[in-house]
Amino acid sequence: MINTILHENTLAGNAIVGQSGGPTAAINATLAGVIRGVLDEQRADGRIPHLYGMRNGVDGLLREDIIELDSVFAPDADGNYTALDTLTLTPAAALGSCRRKLPAPGAADEAEVMDKLFSILEKYNIRYFFYIGGNDSMDTVAKVSAYAEKIGYPIRVVGVPKTIDNDLVGTDHTPGFGSAAKYIAVTMQEILRDTAVYTVPAVTIVEIMGRDAGWLTASSALGRLISGQAPDLVYLPERPFSHEEFFEDVRAALDRHPNVVVAVSEGLQCADGSYVGEGTQSGAVDVFGHRYLAGTAKALELAVKDKFGCKVRSVELNLPQRCAAHLVSAQDIEESLEVGRCAVVAALSGVTREMMTIRRVSDAPYNFEVGHEDIRKIANMTRAVPDEFINGRGNNVTDECLAYLLPLIRGERYPAFDRGLPVHWIF
């Protein structure tokens, strides 16, 4: 069995790491964790002579667009990892990303693409393959590891999760989510202050990322546990959206106070499966077949204006949700680094075809530990917000939901600034 060979902990050779999928404010922290893990190994055992980075994920790998990382991020004479610290708090994917889906087993182009990929891995003597990404990236991990087994190429392939959407199964939560959740929760507090200044009735509708899962939208309500300040209404894509009930909810909220704030997920769908933002969306799909949505809040803004005639504003939080590295969760950054570092440790001990996971050990005080899970149980599955985290009416989240979310946004960590602007790492 090839697995027996792989699980021996003596495999020696180079490592490569790539980033894939949508960027986050913490994905470079995970990359920094992988780099740190390899640098530590080099000083300990020296089984991984070099760490390479693929530019733009498997896209760059197939073009042999590869850079060496271990020399770039080696500690300075005083033992400080200054460059790695800068990388850690740089938003987006410093190596570049891609959305390429590798051919399915048995597809016409499978051998061509995969043989090309493995010839490049062999050329660089790659024995460790780390891929940081979301659901679609775990699909890449599954295919690379399956093909390696099929052709008998000795390599350990480990997926390192990141996604602001928090929708991967097998892990308590995903690196990157806590920082996005914190940005959303903080920004919602600020929007609540902003909308409170006038006395004329007004409805503000805030659109939050999350195509299929409402985790980020749920995070907008976190202030309820702390300052008591939260949006009046919170709608997640896990429940069918009813315009009629929505209008009733808004009317009831306007009866209570003049400044109504509503949080909506970009992926809200009506009971018939149509998207709430459909009227204002492009209808385009991305390469994975996901429909591209835009304008859920805008569509509801027009509907509320039409129904109530009051002042209505829509705010789409947009890209800053995933790239606001100036406001990250210290907890999320710590975990992102640790998951990356542990991926190297796990691969060295023989782990392959697995995704790193985070297990919540305790809530008060919050503690976590890093583990790993068979990629075949994880790839191409999504984890929705469970029923008990949403109230009966489907217009808010429960305190149980907020208690789950709260530890993930704790702590602040700020990048270095130069003359007023944050210092980012750029290759």
Rounded Cα–Cα distance for residues 317 and 321 (Å)? 6
Does position 403 bind its own copies by CB under 8 A?
no
From residue 146 to residue 185, the character string flagging contacts with its own copies as x (rule: CB under 8 A) and all else as - is ------------------------------------x--x
Shortest reach from residue 167's CB to its own copies, in Å: 20
Does position 366 bind its own copies by CB under 8 A?
no
Rounded Cα–Cα distance for residues 238 and 213 (Å)? 7
Does position 364 bind its own copies by CB under 8 A?
no
The closest of 164, 296, 323, 172 to 236, measured between CA atoms, is: 296
Q: How many chain residues bind its own copies (CB under 8 A)?
A: 60
CB 162 within 8 A of CB 333: no
Does position 203 bind its own copies by CB under 8 A?
no
Cα separations (Å) of 197 from 97, 252, 257, 333?
42, 20, 12, 35
- E strand or H helix at 366: strand 366-374
Between residues 201 and 422, which has the closer beta carbon with respect to its own copies?
422
Determine the 3-state secondary structure of 52 from DSSP: strand
Does position 414 bind its own copies by CB under 8 A?
yes
3-state helix, strand, coil in the chain (%, to 5): 40, 20, 40
Shortest reach from residue 208's CB to its own copies, in Å: 13
Between residues 195 and 357, which has the closer beta carbon with respect to its own copies?
195
What totals of helices (H) and strands (E) does the chain contain, helices first?
14, 15
Shortest reach from residue 219's CB to its own copies, in Å: 10
From residue 315 to residue 344, the character string flagging contacts with its own copies as x (rule: CB under 8 A) and all else as - is xxxxxx-xxxxxx-x---------------
Rounded Cα–Cα distance for residues 374 and 159 (Å)? 10
- At 74, list the tokens: 């080696």
For the question of residue 40 being annotated catalytic, the response is: no
Does position 53 bind its own copies by CB under 8 A?
no
CB 325 within 8 A of CB 414: no
In terms of Cβ atoms closer than 10 Å to its own Cβ (0-12, 13-18, 19+), residue 262 is buried
Shortest reach from residue 295's CB to its own copies, in Å: 9
Query: Considering only residues 37, 53, 91, 175, which one is a binding residue for its own copies as defined by CB under 8 A?
Result: 91
Out of 70, 136, 139, 165, the active site residue is: 165
Residues that bind its own copies (CB under 8 A): 19, 23, 56, 59, 90-93, 96-99, 182, 185-187, 189-191, 193-194, 196-199, 222-223, 225-227, 229, 313, 315-320, 322-327, 329, 406, 409-412, 414, 417-424, 426
Active site residues: 165
